[in-house]
Amino acid sequence: MVLSLLQLSSYVAFAIFIVVTLRTARKWASMPMHLRWELYPVPHEPEHEHGSSYLEKVDWQTKPRETTLAGELKELLMEMLFIKRVFDHKRDLWWLTFPFHFGVYLILGWFALLFVGGLTQAYTGIAIPSAHPWAQLIHGLTLLTGSLGIILGTLGTLGLLVKRLFTRELREYSAGVEFLNLIFILVVFGLGAVAWLTFDTDFSTARAYMTSLVSFSSTGIENTVQSNSILLAHVILLELLFIYIPFTKMSHFVGKYFTYHTVLWEDEPNIRGGPLEKKIKDLLTYKVSWGAPHIKKGKNWVENATAEVEENWGEWKI
């Protein structure tokens, strides 16, 4: 059967989200290797509870390097799931940002459960809800994550918007687009909440729509969606949000990986004859174009680093 325009738009929105997110990740991943700029405690160091590093060992270059993945995972999960730094340092904001983020995580879980439910319905013939244990599990978890996610997400977003509007230190530092982002999310959450409370209380419509998407078939559910203006507005705005997020700072889930893993926790030593030396040699061939008198414009980094001092190096110019 021919896919509906609504279904097609869902595929397109999801595809754009993935492609742009991956492009952003690739942009950061392809940055040139930089000078070390780690910040302790670095949680993969075995003695990280003291903030210690391998530099505490005499002749550390000649000793095997020990790291702990468990330390890193623990820190990562505490920050991702519970936003520990905001809890520790700005508790008043944490009461709003935690429900918001946790609400978003629950909604992502809800999406995953709808996806699994859709696959189940489309390819196994097991109906959800039904008496089948698998169906009961999926249905129950979908209800839990969806309802809790909508409540926490809506309240958290509303709280963050109000806080940003009425707290000077947040308002003064925010651009118009940052208010727009929160309003956009709030509208999507709000419409979802209304649709859930008034029309799709057990998420069966949402699951049926997901079933049509994973089976690549028009089952008629899109007509149901289109006949309910709230539901339709929610789906369309959600798709637009999916398209919009990767172009904005809201995709900081990508940036956050790099701030931690390639900067703050990146303490790989450059051992003589090791793999980093080749990269360093390449980087030092880059030519510089800085304009201050003491810099040899047009020469590369090696030529600059080994240049003999000249009389005019202490000058400045506008």
Partner 1 sequence: MNNGVKINDISKPVEQLLRLRLEDLMPLPPPFDKEPEPPIEGEPKPEWREEYFTDLDGYVAIDLPIKPKSEEEGRRFVERFLDGLRKLTSDEDNWTFKEQFMLSIEYCAKCQTCNDACHFYQASGKKEIYRPTYKSEVLRRIYKKYLTPSGKIFGNFVSGEVDLNWRTVGRLAELAYRCTFCRRCAQTCPIGVDNGVINRELRKIFAQEMGIAPKAFHDQGTVKQLKTGSSTGLTPDGFKDMIEFIQEDFEEKLDMKIDMPIDEKGADILLIHNAGEFLSWPENIAAFAILFNEADLSWTMSSDPIGYDGVNYGAFCDDVQLARIVIKHIEAARKLDVNKIVIAECGHAHKVLTVIADRILFDDLNIPRENWLPIMWDAVRKGKFNFDPDKNQFPVTLQDPCNLVRLSGITQPQRNIIKAICPQFREMEPHGVKNYCCGGGSGFAIMSSMNYPEWRKKISVRLKVKQVLDAFQDSISPDINKYACFPCSNCKGGIRDGIEHYGLWEKCRITYGGLVELMVNAMVDIEEPFIEWEVH
- Amino acid at site 108: L
Check residue 140 for interaction with partner 1 (CB under 8 A). Answer: no
Of positions 1, 131, 172, 275, contacts partner 1 by CB under 8 A: 172
Check residue 86 for interaction with partner 1 (CB under 8 A). Answer: yes
Beta-carbon contacts of 38 under 8 Å, excluding residues fewer than 6 positions away, are: 263, 264, 265, 266, 267
Q: Between residue 177 and residue 236, which ones bind partner 1 under the rule CB under 8 A?
A: 177-178
Nearer to partner 1, 133 or 314 (CB): 314
Of positions 9, 21, 52, 228, contacts partner 1 by CB under 8 A: 52
3-state helix, strand, coil in the chain (%, to 5): 70, 0, 30
How far is residue 78's CA from residue 84's CA, in Å, rounded to a whole number? 6
Nearer to partner 1, 73 or 137 (CB): 73
- Whether the CB-CB separation of 242 and 15 falls below 8 Å is answered with no
Check residue 95 for interaction with partner 1 (CB under 8 A). Answer: no
Nearer to partner 1, 227 or 312 (CB): 312
Question: Minimum distance from CB of 100 to partner 1 (Å)?
Answer: 11
Q: Between residue 66 and residue 85, which ones bind partner 1 under the rule CB under 8 A?
A: 79, 83-85
Of the candidates 139, 133, 94, 88, the residue with the CA atom closest to the CA atom of residue 116: 139
Of the candidates 85, 116, 109, 110, the residue with the CA atom closest to the CA atom of residue 98: 85
Tell me which stretch binds partner 1 (CB under 8 A): 15-23, 110-118, 125-133, 254-262: 254-262
Check residue 41 for interaction with partner 1 (CB under 8 A). Answer: yes
Structure tokens, 154: 């809506």
Place of tokens 């059967």: 1
Place of tokens 């003589």: 272
Nearer to partner 1, 56 or 66 (CB): 56
How far is residue 197's CA from residue 209's CA, in Å, rounded to a whole number? 18
- Whether the CB-CB separation of 103 and 154 falls below 8 Å is answered with yes
Check residue 256 for interaction with partner 1 (CB under 8 A). Answer: yes
Of positions 4, 97, 147, 157, contacts partner 1 by CB under 8 A: 97
Question: Minimum distance from CB of 111 to partner 1 (Å)?
Answer: 23
The site that binds partner 1 (CB under 8 A) totals a number of residues, namely 90
Tell me which stretch binds partner 1 (CB under 8 A): 11-19, 116-124, 150-158, 172-180: 172-180
Q: Between residue 264 and residue 303, which ones bind partner 1 under the rule CB under 8 A?
A: 264, 267, 269-272, 276-277, 280-281, 283-284, 286-295, 301
Check residue 166 for interaction with partner 1 (CB under 8 A). Answer: no
Check residue 34 for interaction with partner 1 (CB under 8 A). Answer: yes
Tell me which stretch binds partner 1 (CB under 8 A): 59-67, 119-127, 198-206, 224-232: 59-67
Q: CA of 303: how far to CAs of 3, 105, 138, 236, 312, in Å?
A: 62, 51, 64, 57, 18
Of positions 9, 67, 68, 174, contacts partner 1 by CB under 8 A: 174
* DSSP conformation letters of 165-221: HH-HHHHTT--HHHHHHHHHHHHHHHHHHHHHHHT-TTSHHHHHHHHHHHTTS--SH
Check residue 262 for interaction with partner 1 (CB under 8 A). Answer: yes
Tell me which stretch binds partner 1 (CB under 8 A): 31-39, 121-129, 145-153, 195-203: 31-39
Question: Minimum distance from CB of 198 to partner 1 (Å)?
Answer: 33
- Judged by phi (left if over 0) then psi (alpha if -120 to 50, else beta), residue 232 lies in alpha
